[in-house]
């Protein structure tokens, strides 16, 4: 088996990533609130020995509810339930640094890490929509730069809190009548521009120390943030060249930040549409695209491009005059990806909607299991990916097809594990448990104290 192995994460979204997936006969339109549905998906991913599952999230109702299943379970709550019915699969939840407080969130992820035996991951997002701002006492979306500045301090505080208990703090010494060692609890003692947090966390240090830290923004600010904090990066990339450039850039930035680039895993998204034959896969893709309601999709596209829907003619290309990325305060990199795709391939709005229908800008790949495996291995071998965010167009069938047909091909080629070799999410991603710098600091200050005393 080759030394370098793929990392595969299953990105789970109600009936599938394709916006019309809920209209297929097999789909349950009520599955978005069904924990049985998500547990079955997690168990399928675990059967395929995937590294992790992942739930996206935003504290807002995104998309009009006519268009597709909308509204979702809060991800850490759902993952806590799933943890009880799985053993190995990693559990990654999205949470916003803009609309949470570090104490609450650090506690929530530490809790999921404890109850899952070290399988928690946090997809750190700054939340790019105005709708969300309006749910949190604001009239305007905080600027992109302001959101990332808050995220930076948020992470500093969260890390202090996760490290606020020494691993040895709990003694459980029944004989001495001493449950814990007070000297081994290190208050966060944080005072900054956004947050003032005095205390230690109210949860002992968790099995992984910190949850796996994932990041999913690809703008300048997003990349700078990822270079400092991310251990895995989810990204949308359409072409091999763009993906290679992104990969090289974030690895370089991580090295410049003094980190080992191998400890920052890049996982582009891929939406596999699978069939036993290529023709069968193309039929499924065509059927899904036929079921898209273009008016809903056009309204959504107009919002992303900061246009009025009347400016988008379904049978024409995008208008000449579009805002520049600088004028976008929401999701900058996704805006640019969509415009580049439309211009590069000279797509009409109708065809662009079809291309975005599968994965909202993630790369869609339609074909047989061998062809999907080839596409995955090509990017993996050519310096564009350390693994993939698998985004099945239809769920559960698309994940089952991936696990039953693509995973064995990758295993036969020696590119993917046949068994889990560890128990934590960090084990699956080959990442070390972070040391606790607070312990070293505490020891150093204790030594200084003794020395000063002895002089």
Ligand X SMILES: Cc1cc2nc3c(=O)[nH]c(=O)nc-3n(C[C@H](O)[C@H](O)[C@H](O)COP(=O)(O)O)c2cc1C
Q: Which is nearer to ligand X, 103 or 388 (CB)?
A: 388
> Is residue 56 within 8 Å of 123, Cβ to Cβ?
yes
DSSP 28: -
For the bound state, the minimum distance from the C-beta of residue 56 to ligand X, rounded and expressed in Å, comes to: 3
For the bound state, the minimum distance from the C-beta of residue 58 to ligand X, rounded and expressed in Å, comes to: 5
Secondary structure of residue 199 in the 3-state scheme: coil
For the bound state, the minimum distance from the C-beta of residue 13 to ligand X, rounded and expressed in Å, comes to: 10
Q: Which is nearer to ligand X, 68 or 438 (CB)?
A: 68
For the bound state, the minimum distance from the C-beta of residue 245 to ligand X, rounded and expressed in Å, comes to: 15
Q: Which residues contact 274 (CB under 8 A, 6 or more apart)?
A: 281, 284, 367, 368, 369, 372, 398, 401, 402, 405, 406
Characterize the bridge pairing of strands 170-173 and 178-180: antiparallel
For the bound state, the minimum distance from the C-beta of residue 332 to ligand X, rounded and expressed in Å, comes to: 4
Residues forming contacts to ligand X in the complex (CB under 6 A) are 56-58, 94, 125, 127-128, 144, 216-219, 221-222, 234-236, 269, 331-334, 389
> Is residue 123 within 8 Å of 214, Cβ to Cβ?
yes
248 CB-contact burial (10 Å; exposed 0-12 / middle 13-18 / buried 19+):
middle
Q: Which is nearer to ligand X, 63 or 348 (CB)?
A: 63
For the bound state, the minimum distance from the C-beta of residue 173 to ligand X, rounded and expressed in Å, comes to: 43
Q: Which is nearer to ligand X, 328 or 342 (CB)?
A: 328
CA of residue 89 relative to chain centroid, distance? 15
Closest residue to ligand X: CB criterion: 217
Q: Which is nearer to ligand X, 125 or 200 (CB)?
A: 125
Q: How far apart are CA 19 and CA 373, in angstroms?
A: 24
Q: Which is nearer to ligand X, 93 or 288 (CB)?
A: 93
178 CB-contact burial (10 Å; exposed 0-12 / middle 13-18 / buried 19+):
exposed
Q: Which is nearer to ligand X, 48 or 222 (CB)?
A: 222
115-135 in b/e form (b: 16+ CB < 10 A) is bbbbbbbbbbbbbbbeebbee
Task: Count other Cβ atoms within 10 Å, centred on residue 159.
Answer: 21
For the bound state, the minimum distance from the C-beta of residue 132 to ligand X, rounded and expressed in Å, comes to: 8
């Amino acid at each position: 088996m080759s030394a370098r192995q793929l990392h595969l994460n299953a990105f789970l979204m109600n009936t599938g990533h394709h916006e019309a997936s809920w209209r297929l006969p097999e789909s349950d339109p009520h599955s978005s609130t069904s924990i049985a549905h998500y547990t079955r998906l997690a168990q399928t991913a675990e059967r395929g020995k995937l590294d992790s599952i992942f739930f996206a999230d935003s504290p807002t109702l995104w998309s009009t509810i006519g268009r597709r299943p909308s509204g979702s379970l809060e991800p850490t709550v759902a993952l806590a339930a799933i943890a009880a019915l799985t053993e190995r699969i990693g559990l990654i939840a999205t949470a916003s640094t803009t609309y949470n407080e570090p104490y609450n969130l650090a506690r929530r992820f530490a809790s999921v890490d404890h109850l899952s035996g070290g399988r928690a991951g946090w997809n750190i997002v700054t939340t790019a929509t105005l709708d969300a701002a309006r749910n949190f006492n604001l009239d305007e979306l905080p600027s992109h730069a302001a959101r990332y500045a808050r995220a930076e301090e948020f992470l500093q505080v969260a890390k202090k809190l996760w490290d606020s208990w020494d691993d040895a703090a709990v003694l459980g010494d029944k004989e001495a009548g001493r449950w814990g060692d007070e000297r081994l609890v290190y208050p966060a003692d944080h005072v900054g521009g956004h947050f003032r947090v005095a205390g230690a966390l109210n949860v002992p240090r968790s099995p992984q120390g910190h949850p796996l830290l994932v990041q999913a923004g690809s703008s300048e600010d997003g990349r700078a943030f990822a270079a400092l904090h991310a251990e895995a990066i989810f990204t949308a990339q359409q072409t091999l060249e763009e993906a290679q450039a992104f990969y090289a850039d974030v690895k370089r930035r991580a090295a410049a930040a003094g980190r080992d680039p191998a400890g920052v895993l890049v996982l582009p998204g891929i939406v596999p549409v699978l069939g036993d034959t290529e023709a069968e896969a193309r039929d499924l893709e065509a059927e899904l695209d036929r079921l898209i309601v273009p008016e809903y999709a056009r309204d959504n596209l107009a919002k992303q491009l900061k246009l009025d829907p009347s400016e988008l003619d379904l049978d024409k290309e995008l208008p000449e005059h579009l805002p520049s990325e600088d004028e976008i305060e929401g999701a900058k990199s996704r805006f640019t990806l969509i415009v580049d795709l439309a211009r590069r391939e000279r797509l009409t709005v109708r065809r662009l909607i079809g291309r975005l229908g599968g994965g909202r800008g993630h790369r869609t790949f339609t074909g047989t299991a061998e062809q999907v495996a080839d596409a995955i291995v090509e990017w993996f071998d050519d310096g564009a990916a350390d693994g993939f965010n698998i985004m099945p167009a239809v769920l559960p069938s698309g994940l089952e097809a991936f696990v039953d047909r693509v995973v064995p091909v990758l295993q036969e080629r020696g590119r993917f594990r046949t068994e889990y070799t560890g128990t934590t999410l960090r084990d699956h991603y080959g990442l070390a448990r972070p040391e606790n710098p607070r312990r070293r600091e505490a020891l150093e200050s204790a030594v200084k104290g003794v020395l000063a005393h002895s002089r």
